[in-house]
Structure 1
Amino acid sequence: MKNIKSKIAFAALALSLSSVVIAQENKKPNLVLFMADDCSYYDLGVYGSKDSKTPNIDQFAKEGVRFTKAYQAAPMCSPTRHNLMTGVWPVKSGAYPNHTMAKEGTLSIAHHLKPAGYQVALIGKSHVAPESVFPWDLYAPLSKSNDINFAAVDSFINVCKENDQPFCLFVTSNQPHTPWNKGNPEMFNPEEVKLPPFYVDVPKTRSQFCKYLAEINYMDSEFGTLLKKLDEEKLADNSVVVYLSEQGNSFPFAKWTCYDVGVHSACIIRWPGNIKAGMESDALVEYVDVVPTFLEIAGVKPKSHLDGKSLVPLLTGKVKEHKEYTFSLQTTRGINKGSAYYGIRSVADKKYRYIVNLTPDAVFKNVESEGALFKEWKEIAETDANARQITNKYQHRPGVELYDLEKDPYCINNLAEKPENKKIIERMDKALKEWMASCGDKGQATELEAFEHMVGRHANK
């Protein structure tokens, strides 16, 4: 009898432990996304920079999958964040200028996840509106010094743990956005750093670039702090973590443009138990895919149409490819010191980037072109042919541009006028027009309506 009771007790214990294991396996994963601000993807160590110091990001890439062809729909902060958090194209949601707002009735990730028991928070830089579209359970802005409120991160995670609730957490840095006043520039030697070929190589360019690299290093430490907190709270194994670099930096030819550097992003995803560590993918993926991906991982059906496409089949190795094209647009109307209008539309596949400048007769202007560094470049351009070519290309553009991204990732040599590229242009122009039509994008008419979609018409980041 004693042996029988022991066997029953042991079986009950085994069943109890089994139930715990099953419960843990069935527990919804946490969803965490960290995003930098104005960081060119190739200025990270794991994306090829020999100068940058990004140990946390580099290590993180060894633990998940690194995408080499990730893109966003706009090279500006506000439309990018709306697109990322709604899974809806910028013109379709109305959030396509900078300092923009989505149309009432647009649903964000909060609307989809909260009914499924998730707590959803944004901690850091916002640039999304209105509150009805983004009903966060917690929003904690940047500090007065533009730092992430990690105390709010701690509090949010602890509350979710105490209530046994899964969470979706966006942590959005303000680095390395100008004025590049964080980190230690002395870590970098201005005489030795390698500059992209579309910079005018003068001492001021090099010193500014070192300040920018210092702030990337500062941002990397912020990301490291977030990862450490997940480890300390023993949440890492049940958390999907995404790292994004956002659009290109605030030097010319990156942010505010649809050149590849402007819309090409770092994207690294870690999903323990589901993604093989150290993977690399050259599939075309976009920020608009994040919401449907998070929803599928959480086992939640979207409450409205999403323009993105879940990455789960790609992440789990069921497929190798994801999309044929990636689409982007730039609305210069309303940006700080920008042109009265200068709309840009672009489409890219794995090999080519096709760009349409809606008003090529206008001069392209923004805070960079009106800044001290670019003015110095223009002064040098009066006597230097290379500087003249660079500054003219930035501000005076043809109606159509085509670049071979395999041979020319910096988009320097425009191939649009070569007769042998006619069929390529026709194919890509057709794809671009179809995308614009699906979004309700009327081109120049849409550009002129930009002010109607802005929270504020003047001050812009």
Structure 2
Amino acid sequence: MCDQLRFDYLGCTGHPHLKTPHIDALAARGVRFDNAYVQSPICGPSRMSTYTGRYVRSHGATWNQTPLRVGEMTLADHLEPLGLRTALCGKTHMAPDIDGMRRLGIDPGSGIGARIAECGFEVWDRLDGVHPSGGTPPSHYNDHLAGLGYGGPNPWEQWANSAQGDDDEILSGWLMQHADRPARVAEAESETPYTTSRAMAFIEDAGDQPWCLHLSYIKPHWPYIVPAPYHEMYGPEHVLPAVRADVEREDPHPVLAAYFEHRFSRVFARDEVRARVIPAYMGLIAQLDDQIGRMMAWLDETGRSTETLIVFTSDHGDYLGDHWLGEKELFHEPSVKVPLIVVDPTPEADATRGQVLPHLVEAIDLAPSFVDWAGGDPRPHILEGHSLLPLIHGADPPWRGAVISEYDYSARRAQQLLGQPIPDCRLVMVYDGRWKYIHCEGFRPMLFDLETDPDEVCDLGADPVHGDQRARLAGLMHRWALRHHNRTTISDAEILAGQGQEVAQGVFIGFWDASDVAEAVETGTSGN
């Protein structure tokens, strides 16, 4: 999993300048899903959905640093009983439910407490992206840099996230004006190669034990700075024109208008910023691609690629100035749509190898796919996604007709600009492959027709001509919202098996006399 990698910034997805031969080779080895969407277009809730296989409204971690509540089952809870060692190398953005653990008498420092605090993963090496203060939790990567002689109170900040000025001054990578300069750290010791090396070390450590490794790169997420030689691989001439139109700003939806006022949107609306930053973003992707190539070559050389299911994806995209926006968080394609490549080495997957599949896929489909791969039961009362393996194996199972994504903007300045109560800062996207409907609590909806308007610049949310489509998609959203989302402790099969057990337990409800009981037992109609 990459962080903040757009779906269209790969060679295999059509970028005209960016070269990603190793990721493209993964797509040729497996299947590329062309319509994959995250359950929230921001790091924390998106990842919690991927790790739990559940929608944001189901697991409740609605924004970054919102704890995933104790009791939510994650990948390790599903995979370790099937014999898989489940580990993290890189980022999770997990915030632990310390209050919940204390309430239940679980010591956060205990073995089980530590696993709950780390989203169920065995932490091989957590690197969420270090911050100027050193980051929380403490980073193995900072210790690694310090051990190599990189000085300073926070080596990541002074070396991996800084450039060298013309007068040898240190220039902060947080400032986008420095994005065209190389990071001070040696390329081999920068975040992406470091994480790849640590992932290889885990695989070797696992030996013959089956494993599931979350290799989670923190790039190309900001800060937009990359070491040499990647800093100069691309230039302003490789920056695609922003996908935006003046009509978007003439009478914008109130939520969109509020996001136009965010600092990250105002800066990315400037062409000179895009010309400086996007080449660095592309360089970070090129470095990622080389590290994917390094990992795949090693897996091939050691014979592991023939028995390893490999998934390549991202937790969300990056606007990069499209639609006059920066960052992510709303539901245009550059933000909510992600790359998804699945390489299944088994002969059953030969039928689709190298294909691009059009099915509407959600990030929550990965967890049930892993359970399926490991031979486990589907557990649909917990896992809300669908296994992708039948599609990869050439089957044509019944499939969803729409995808759902959610966002909570209560932590953003938009909440203040709109004067929205915290509980009402909710957005829900429903996309059926053509029509994209966005419910905005307290405001009119947004609506886009991607068949006639693939760039999503014409909002039809107030157009009376399209009221039928808005009503239809709102109905899909309501039916989704009314489904069971939180009955996770008992399966449908267990409910069926429990029907009619009252008489066997000596509980006679609704009977007149003993003959009624005898008749009910004989005819098998003893349930109420």
* TM-score band w.r.t. shorter chain: 0.7 to 0.9
Deviations 1:29-52 (A, max 9, x none): xxxxxx111111111111111122
Q: Does 1:45 align with 2:11?
A: yes
Distance 1:440 1:110, change over 3 A: closer
Partner of 1:179: 223
2:451 alignment partner in structure 1: 406
Select 2:440's aligned residue among 357, 378, 385.
357
Report if aligned partners of 1:296, 1:310 keep a CA contact under 8 Å in 2.
yes
Cα deviations by residue, 1:144-185 (Å, 9 ceiling, x for unpaired): 344443343233212322xx2111111011111011111523
Residue among 329, 332, 340 paired with 2:406: 329
Tell whether the 8 Å contact from 1:352 to 1:404 is kept in structure 2 after alignment: yes
The equivalent residue for 2:370 is: 294
Q: Secondary structure at 1:210's aligned position in 2?
A: helix
**1:274 and 2:274 correspond:** no
What is the distance in 2 between the residues matched to 1:137 and 1:417? 49
Q: Identify which range, 403-412 or 140-149, moves more after superposition.
A: 140-149
**Cα displacement string for residues 245-292 of structure 1 (whole angstroms, at most 9, x for unaligned residues):** 321115326611122322111101111223232111000011011111
Rounded to whole Å, the distance in 2 between the matches of 1:438 and 1:129 is: 27
Which residue is 1:264 aligned to? 337
Q: What is the CA distance between 1:419 and its match in structure 2?
A: 3.1
| 1:82 to 2:67 alignment | no
**Contact kept? 1:63, 1:278, Cα under 8 Å:** yes
* Conservation of the 8 A alpha-carbon contact between 1:245 and 1:266: yes
Distance 1:52 1:338, change over 3 A: farther
Please give the TM-score of this superposition, normalised by the length of structure 1: 0.74
- The residue that corresponds to 2:516 in the other structure is none
CA contact 1:91–1:439 (8 Å) conserved in 2: no
Deviates more, 1:429-438 or 1:115-124: 429-438
Partner of 2:122: 137
- Decide whether aligned partners of structure 1 residues 103 and 239 sit closer, same or farther in structure 2, where only a CA change above 3 A counts: same
1:132-151 Cα shifts (integer Å, max 9, x gaps)? 27332343112234444334
- The offset of 1:302, in angstroms, is 5.1
Aligned to 1:246: 315
Q: Distance in 1 between matches of 2:61 and 2:27?
A: 31
Contact 1:404/1:411 (8 A) holds in 2: yes
Q: Is 1:197 matched with 2:204?
A: no
Amino acid at match of 1:119: R
RMSD: 2.2
**Consecutive unaligned residues in structure 1, runs of 5 or more:** 1-34, 361-398, 442-461
Shift of 1:416: 2.5
Is residue 2:81 matched to residue 1:115? Answer: yes
> What does 1:23-62 correspond to in 2, within 5 Å?
35-62=1-28
Q: Report the CA distance between 1:437 and its aligned residue.
A: 3.6
Partner SS, residue 62 of structure 1: helix
Letter in 2 for 1:244: T
CA–CA separation in structure 1 for the residues paired with 2:234 and 2:85: 41
Q: For residues 423 and 50 of structure 1, what CA distance do their matches in structure 2 show? A: 38
Task: Tell whether the 8 Å contact from 1:178 to 1:250 is kept in structure 2 after alignment.
Answer: no
The alpha-carbon deviation at position 81 of structure 1 amounts to: 0.8
Q: Shift of residue 189 of structure 1?
A: 2.7
Instruction: Name the CA distance, whole Å, in 2 between partners of 1:270 and 1:293.
Output: 12
Structure 1 residue 433: deviation in Å? Answer: 2.1
Residue in structure 2 matched with residue 12 of structure 1 by the alignment = none
Q: Which amino acid aligns with 2:382?
A: H
Instruction: Name 1:446's counterpart in structure 2.
Output: none
- How far apart, in 2, do the equivalents of 1:47 and 1:320 lie? 26
Q: Residues 407 and 189 (structure 1 numbering): CA distance in 2 closer, same or farther, change over 3 Å?
A: farther
Mapped pair 1:156 → 2:202? yes
**CA contact 2:239–2:274 (8 Å) conserved in 1:** no
Change (3 A) 1:211 1:242: same
Q: Number of residues paired by the alignment?
A: 366
Q: Quote the Cα distance in structure 1 between the aligned partners of 2:467 and 2:433.
A: 18
The percent of aligned pairs where both chains have the same amino acid is 28
Greater gyration radius: 2
Q: What is the alpha-carbon distance in structure 1 between the residues aligned to residue 297 and residue 238 of structure 2?
A: 33
TM-score by length of 2: 0.65
Q: d(CA) in 2 for partners of 1:205 and 1:109?
A: 38
Partner residue, 2:465: 420
Unaligned 5+ segments in structure 2 are 97-114, 128-140, 143-155, 157-190, 245-267, 417-421, 487-528
Shift of 1:93: 0.9
Distance across 2 between alignment mates of 1:233 and 1:138: 24
What amino acid maps onto 1:434 in structure 2? R
Say whether 1:101 aligns with 2:67.
Answer: yes
- Mapping for residues 211-222 of structure 1, pairs under 5 Å: 211-222=280-291
